Amino acid sequence: MAKITHVSPLAPAGFPDLPVIAGAEFASVAAGIKYQDRKDVTLVRLAPGTTIAGAFTKSSTRSAPVLDCQEKIGGDSTEGAAIIVNAGNANAFTGRNGADATHAVTSGVANCLGVPVGRVFSSSTGVIGEPLPHGRITAKLEELKNNLSETAIQDAAEGIRTTDTFPKGSCQSVLIEGKTVNISGIAKGSGMIAPDMATMLVYIFTDAKVEQTLLQSILSELTDLTFNNITVDSDTSTSDTLLLAATGSSGVDITSPAGAFRDALFEVMLDLAHQVVRDGEGATKFLEVEVSGAESVVDARTHALSIANSPLVKTAIAGEDPNWGRVVMAIGKSGAKADRDLLAIWFGDILVAEQGWVSPSYSENDGAEYMHNQDLKIRVDLGLGSHSATVWTCDLTHGYISINADYRS
């Protein structure tokens, strides 16, 4: 397994001070799932009435816990609920054993906390193809229950890490109808996860009161604008899970899909998504790619992801090379509509190419100077329509190869 020897150069200065969400309690313990002497199992207890929405990997080989969560989303929220997460073993591609292990864990939590098993959501992240030692998790449930605390969310952010180089948290507080509504979220992912793929797990809590179908609708809209628009290496985990729990303890009813709550949630989700990219394996640069002037949002996003996933673009970013020819190549191969002679390309505010050729105002020195920045932006206008999309990625470096190739299992 790859050793984590340093924190990503793109990491934020520190973990934020997340506001308490009344009705959400956290505890983490070291259960020895795979790692020794570190917290690797995290329990969250949610008060009766908490509504829960979710978004999950679209992988056709998704893990047993993901399938179990998907079945449970949308259930009756009058009783309490729980989330249980283990790091070190993904319980993915474990045959029929996988569902049995998930059931053992979730029913154990249900019994321990006195909540329905249909309201216990689980996630597992780590190696795949190995049986989950579920007994090590259930053996710790009493201890976890006794440690539950509304102020322990940072411990939870630490406990869900596998080989992330930093814990990820984000929050927003907004005044709605004279009352404060809080949103606190944590995430893991895209760190140096070995020997398997980087899994993204995200848990967001709010004291707003939101009916489940509205909560799901807002979450789905925002997932498409945030977590579904980030990419590190184009590979998709079998275990990606995002859960959003609304305890309602603020007493503020949210009844509209638009407005201050949605906007604050968007900020939390975007910040966490960016932090995942900033912990991308081997990342030394953060790249925003915006494609405008498309005939549809789907076309814009297809082009943006083609640029963001192109190994040749990503290595050019790593090499601080303003290689707009590779951007043209990535647009050409995407399959979405483009007209070569209408393209315009900017690196930051620098117009690089227009009308199918290098811009007369462009100087290679300006481009090379811009590429020295740590945070970069490539913008493309297709000149075809009015739709746009933005995605975020990191560069492709020797660090990525070292993390993913330079070991033997």
Rg (the chain; Cα; Å): 22
Tell whether residue 9 is a contact of a second copy (CB under 8 A).
no
404 assigned ligand-binding residue: yes
3-state secondary structure of 350: strand
CA distance 177 to 330: 48
Q: Are 252 and 181 in contact (CB under 8 A)?
A: yes
Cβ nearer to a second copy, comparing 346 with 400: 400
Tell whether residue 52 is a contact of a second copy (CB under 8 A).
no
Q: C-alpha distances in angstroms, 247 versus 111, 227, 373?
A: 21, 23, 42
Please enumerate in sequence order all residues whose Cβ is within 8 A of that of 74, keeping only pairs 6 or more positions apart, or say none.
212, 213, 216
Cβ nearer to a second copy, comparing 298 with 312: 312
CB of 361 to a second copy, least distance (A): 15
Q: C-alpha distances in angstroms, 80 versus 45, 52, 110, 183, 196?
A: 8, 11, 10, 19, 34
Tell whether residue 95 is a contact of a second copy (CB under 8 A).
yes
Cβ nearer to a second copy, comparing 61 with 149: 61
28 assigned ligand-binding residue: no
Cβ nearer to a second copy, comparing 128 with 376: 128
Site for a second copy in 352-391 (CB under 8 A): 353, 355-358, 364, 368
284 is catalytic: no
Reduced to 3 DSSP states, what percent helix, strand and coil does the chain have, rounded to the nearest 5? 35, 25, 40
Phi, psi for 3 (deg, rounded to 5): -85, 140
239 assigned ligand-binding residue: no
Tell whether residue 343 is a contact of a second copy (CB under 8 A).
yes
DSSP string, 264-278: HHHHHHHHHHHHHHH
Surface-to-core class of residue 5, CB atoms within 10 Å of its CB (0-12 exposed, 13-18 middle, 19+ buried): exposed
Tell whether residue 162 is a contact of a second copy (CB under 8 A).
no
Which residue type is seen at 343? L
Q: Which of 337, 366, 383, 387 binds a second copy (CB under 8 A)?
A: 337
Q: Are 296 and 387 in contact (CB under 8 A)?
A: yes
Report how many residues bind a second copy under the rule CB under 8 A.
73
Q: Are 384 and 338 in contact (CB under 8 A)?
A: yes
Tell whether residue 141 is a contact of a second copy (CB under 8 A).
no
Surface-to-core class of residue 357, CB atoms within 10 Å of its CB (0-12 exposed, 13-18 middle, 19+ buried): exposed
Site string for a second copy, 113-132 (x = CB under 8 A): --------------xxx---
Cβ nearer to a second copy, comparing 62 with 278: 62
- Tell me which stretch binds a second copy (CB under 8 A): 31-39, 101-109, 189-197, 250-258: 189-197
Site for a second copy in 260-289 (CB under 8 A): none
CB of 365 to a second copy, least distance (A): 11
Tell whether residue 1 is a contact of a second copy (CB under 8 A).
no
Residue 141 tokens, joined = 């449930």
281 assigned ligand-binding residue: yes
Site string for a second copy, 191-230 (x = CB under 8 A): ----xxx---------------------------------
Name the catalytic one among 125, 199, 226, 238: 199
Please enumerate in sequence order all residues whose Cβ is within 8 A of that of 369, keeping only pairs 6 or more positions apart, or say none.
none
Least Cα distance to 122 among 94, 89, 164 occurs for: 89
Residue 135 tokens, joined = 């007994």
Which residue type is seen at 74? G
Cβ nearer to a second copy, comparing 172 with 323: 323
Q: Which of 331, 344, 376, 391 binds a second copy (CB under 8 A)?
A: 331
Site for a second copy in 58-87 (CB under 8 A): 58-62
Q: Which of 50, 238, 247, 275 binds a second copy (CB under 8 A)?
A: 238
Q: Which of 6, 96, 146, 349 binds a second copy (CB under 8 A)?
A: 96
177 assigned ligand-binding residue: no
- Tell me which stretch binds a second copy (CB under 8 A): 18-26, 166-174, 221-229, 312-320: 312-320
Least Cα distance to 94 among 119, 130, 65, 59 occurs for: 130
Least Cα distance to 42 among 80, 84, 88, 91 occurs for: 84
Cβ nearer to a second copy, comparing 60 with 146: 60
What is the set of active-site residues?
199
Query: Binding site membership for substrate: which residues?
Result: 162, 188, 199, 281, 404, 409
Residues forming the annotated binding site?
Answer: 162, 188, 199, 281, 404, 409
